[in-house]
Chains A and B, each alone.
Chain A
């Protein structure tokens, strides 16, 4: 079992470029979410999904899009990257339910120059 796999681990993007961060889980979890981690800010949820075809906004959704076509994958898309989106991005996975712990991927460190 790989758990939650994120690719790439590192990436440098120019302002205005687009990019997709990949997240895949093999635990048959229904709930997937994206967080960004910034110094002094902790982790903040960007978007989440409870099932294929269902997505919703988190705390900081602006500038990001997501889609969920199957159970395993939950890509995060930056259509026009901005320097403010320089961050470490984590995908998290859990069973659907209100009291279930989340398991995190290893993260993608993204720099927008």
Chain B
């Protein structure tokens, strides 16, 4: 089946640092979504991308839909402690009567000790 390769798996941040993570796939997607999940909660949608090449911001977060439609990245600028959590990318494709969200395995953001 389709798979998304999300990297890095985990990273440590210091307050004020910029953070980058990305997702790649061997398949084309029509939509890329980025979610954040806090412990004990469901994923919360951060950014949705609908067109190849699209660059979208949400506060300190910026995400891009790759030109090839096989990748996407998420940047967080000037990180703050509440950015800690797990970030998931998800690709949406046309499958049957309703698109199927394919999720990456997540990037876990932690604070540097």
Contact = CB atoms under 8 A, between A and B. Distances in A.
A58 interface: yes
Contact of A90 (B1, B30, B40, B42): B42
A50 B100 contact: no
Given A98-B99, A99-B50, A43 B31 contact: no
Contact of B42 (A31, A58, A98, A105): A105
Interface residues of B, number: 28
Most buried by A among B33, B97, B98: B98
Given A98-B30, A99-B30, A107 B42 contact: yes
A31 B43 CA distance: 17
A88 to B, nearest CB: 9
A7 interface: no
A42 interface: yes
A54 to B, nearest CB: 8
Contacts of A102: 33, 45, 101
Interface residues on A, range: 20 to 34
Contacts of B105: 40-42
A43 B92 contact: no
Contacts of A45: 100-101
A68 B94 CA distance: 22
B45 A103 contact: yes
Contacts of B50: 99
B106 A106 contact: no
7 contacts: A42-B88, A50-B98, A90-B42, A97-B99, A98-B92, A101-B48, A104-B42
Q: Which 3 residue pairs across A and B have the least CB separation, nearest first?
A: A104-B42, A42-B103, A43-B103
Interface of A: 4, 31, 33, 40-45, 48, 50, 54, 56, 58-59, 90, 92, 96-107
Given A42-B105, A43-B90, A107-B41, 14 more contacts: A41-B105, A42-B103, A50-B98, A54-B97, A56-B97, A98-B30, A98-B31, A99-B30, A101-B48, A102-B33, A103-B45, A104-B35, A106-B40, A106-B41
